[in-house]
Structure 1
Amino acid sequence: MKIENIEMRRVTLPLVTPFRTSFGTAYERETTLVRVTTANAEGWAEHAAEPDPLYSSEFLDGGDLVIRDHLIPRLQALGDRLTADRVATALAPVKGHPMSKAVLETAILDAQLKETGVSFGDHLGAVHERVPAGVSVGIMDSHEELLDAVGRYLDEGYLRIKLKIEPGWDVVPVRAVRERFGDDVLLQVDANTAYTLADARHLAQLDPFNLLLIEQPLPEDDLLGHAGLAKLITTPVCLDESIESARDAAAAIALGACSVINVKPARVGGYLEARRIHDVAAANGVPVWCGGMLETGIGRAANVALAALPNFVMPGDTSASNRYYTQDLTAPFVLEDGHLAVPTGPGIGVDVLPDVLNELTTRTTDIRF
């Protein structure tokens, strides 16, 4: 595939409401979009990193630099031989930076599929026309505020609620949600690495609430700690930040460190590696679900396609656009009967709205191939 140009465009979208996790509070979504242009198509993707290196060691300004100065030159060396399948190998000598690698691979894959008229879902192996949607609820200032938010999302039709937790905001809010909305609500919690194995007895207090899972309770590099925790609590342990590759997934499963995996394509270097993680988990009887990173419609379209693969058997963080944005960069994803439709058009299957894009852009960099 012959690439003519790669554009890096920084955009900022205000969030409908602040989103608080154990890492901090976000009031807007700032990201770098990558547009890959060929003679016959253009591919889009968005960088998942945040402005500060809190969720992971990657951050946006660092990502822009490594993409421009270290990753793109390696892709240019491939010339006309460049395809999405060759991106990971070409970029492997650059250590780390999976989110920066993912945004390039995804934009290239989008352009490639648009040239051939194939949808993301068909290319990845989707088996569903729509996917069940869950919603992630951040840490609130009060239990009443939390209950109001959960009630609103349930009224909108979300099929699963995920509560962000941290020390001091865990057992009591979970109990409050269960008491207000009952045991039939699909409920899970996400700790974003906020605990240690020494907190096992405390985390065991969540067991009576019949949670689907507890996501990433311990630091990302503590697989043995997660394996130990899994023996001390009955709530299923799900790994998120710990899984950066199919090899990581295989190791975690073999150690007994998790019984569920949250697959975030950007965190693992792209959708092709995400599909491999899906396959490894499926071969071991471990269910997966698709996580979210406050994506705009660009990233959400690709995530929804991934979530339509057969082993994505749990609702993911594939919320509707209005969960986060008053105005998205694409036509909004709309919740229907608790589900989102999988785009069927070529590539990611959605178009970027040029007027909205220009309004939200803060800077642009063009790199000729």
Structure 2
Amino acid sequence: MIKINSITLYVISKKLKLPFATHLATVTDREAIIVEVIDSEGGKGYGEVVAFSSPWYTEETVRTCFHMLKDYFIPLLKNKTISHPDEVTPLLDKYRRNQMAKAGLETAIWDLYAKSQEKALSRLLGGCKTKVPSGVVVGTSNVDEAIRQIDLYLADGYQRVKVKISPGHDFNLIEGIRSRFPDLPLMADANSAYTLNEIERLKELDQFGLLMIEQPLAHDDIIDHAKLQKEIQTPICLDESIVTFNDARQAIELGSCGVINVKIGRVGGLKTAKQIHDIAVQNGIQVWCGGMLEFGVSRAHNIAIASLPGFTIPGDISASSRYWAEDITTPEVMVENGYIQVPEGPGIGFSINEKSLNNSLQFKEIIRL
């Protein structure tokens, strides 16, 4: 049983080692909220709000999430005793959407609960792997720069590469990469850059043997994606379209995709992420764990969910050193021979690097319950 005494919200910011570019935005400095939940016994659990500073990926931002957490979601926990983290999502669903704010709080409670049970979070979720394969994202439309980055990442052992595409920055980019790396497990992420009017353009990419094209059409669509999937050979992967369990169920029933990208923050937490994994496996749909340029706390939760058996495609779970001069967790996430070890210690299996957290701190607020 968990009785929460206080919750601290840490707003932090760090500069990325390399700018991360899509056709929607370029990120150079990454803000986030670290959620620290402390129970009546002094136990601590950590979650991370992965919204960006501006609403280019979803409608949420760091500021809106802080507001929702402080003024709406955290007050729902006042005088509540939680017997299992699965109880948190129905409680927070009193208020609509705001999935990333919900996920930051829900995952912190999962970490706290796992620690109270002296069990690894991965095992509590049903994970069975001791290590998970790691993929990486290349965020540039310049062919030479993309090849340069891929060479470095393959030398580091990464097993799969994702590149960002958009109309005018697609065929030549993929062709150039394929010419240099004919056998590379490669996928393309469109971030909703195309419409059904560009079916022929997308068909041209079939020749490159891509693992998938991620979210080619509108961010909130599953119907047009079903039409597109009938026309192209490359599996469609849905990302932004899958915000709830019902989104996943309906997309599967419509034949809108062959793959689903599971992002804990986008779907509101670990409970829903696991439900989407389960229904996908039942229906022969592949799943993989997407990334959000996270700090170590969210990266640790991603490792835990990726340890479930249905996650067969290397996820966007890179080493901490891929993004940061110094992460906020210890030990930092490391990739060895293309894999990340799944921690065996209680909870997420990582501790907070207090010095790094404080060095990146912009603001914090303690909320007593």
State the TM-score, normalized to the length of structure 2: 0.97
Give the drift of 1:102: 0.7
Q: Which residue is equivalent to 2:338?
A: 338
1:5-84 paired onto structure 2 within 5 Å: 5-38=6-39, 39-77=41-79, 79-81=80-82, 83-84=84-85
3-state SS of the aligned residue for 2:192? coil
Give the drift of 1:82: 6.2
Structure 1 consecutive aligned stretches of length 4 or more whose deviation exceeds 3 Å: none
Q: Which residue is equivalent to 1:113?
A: 114
1:105-161: CA deviation from partner (whole Å, max 9, x where unpaired): 111111111111011110111111001100011024x32111111111111111001
Give the drift of 1:250: 1.1
Q: Which residue is equivalent to 2:213?
A: 214
Q: Which residue is equivalent to 2:103?
A: 102
State the TM-score, normalized to the length of structure 1: 0.97
Q: Which residue is equivalent to 1:136?
A: 137
3-state SS of the aligned residue for 1:147? helix
RMSD (Å) for aligned C-alpha atoms: 1.0
Q: Which residue is equivalent to 2:307?
A: 308
Q: Tell me the amino acid that sits aligned with residue 282 of structure 1.
A: V
Give the drift of 1:22: 2.0
Q: Tell me the amino acid that sits aligned with residue 64 of structure 1.
A: F
Give the drift of 1:83: 4.1
1:319-358 paired onto structure 2 within 5 Å: 319-330=318-329, 331-358=331-358
Give the drift of 1:301: 0.8
After TM superposition, the structure 1 stretch with the greater mean CA deviation from structure 2, 38-47 or 58-67, is: 38-47
- The gaps in structure 1 that reach 5 residues or longer are none
**2:230 is the counterpart of 1:228:** no
Cα distance in 2, alignment partners of residues 107 and 21 from structure 1: 30
Task: Indicate if the aligned counterparts of 2:89 and 2:271 stay in contact, CA closer than 8 A.
Answer: no
1:335-366: CA deviation from partner (whole Å, max 9, x where unpaired): 11100011111111100011111111111101
1:255-266 paired onto structure 2 within 5 Å: 255-266=254-265
Task: Indicate if the aligned counterparts of 1:264 and 1:292 stay in contact, CA closer than 8 A.
Answer: yes
Task: Indicate if the aligned counterparts of 1:2 and 1:82 stay in contact, CA closer than 8 A.
Answer: no
- The gaps in structure 2 that reach 5 residues or longer are none
1:272-314: CA deviation from partner (whole Å, max 9, x where unpaired): 1100000000000111000000111111111011111111011
Task: Indicate if the aligned counterparts of 1:40 and 1:115 stay in contact, CA closer than 8 A.
Answer: no
Cα distance in 2, alignment partners of residues 29 and 51 from structure 1: 8
Cα distance in 2, alignment partners of residues 80 and 231 from structure 1: 49
Task: Indicate if the aligned counterparts of 2:140 and 2:163 stay in contact, CA closer than 8 A.
Answer: yes
Q: Which residue is equivalent to 2:245?
A: 246
Aligned residues: 366
Cα distance in 1, alignment partners of residues 145 and 278 from structure 2: 40
Cα distance in 1, alignment partners of residues 354 and 204 from structure 2: 50
Cα distance in 2, alignment partners of residues 120 and 199 from structure 1: 43
Cα distance in 2, alignment partners of residues 63 and 222 from structure 1: 24
Cα distance in 1, alignment partners of residues 278 and 81 from structure 2: 30
1:162-241 paired onto structure 2 within 5 Å: 162-182=162-182, 184-241=183-240
Q: Tell me the amino acid that sits aligned with residue 50 of structure 2.
A: A
1:273-292 paired onto structure 2 within 5 Å: 273-292=272-291
Task: Indicate if the aligned counterparts of 2:36 and 2:46 stay in contact, CA closer than 8 A.
Answer: yes
Identity of aligned residues (%): 43
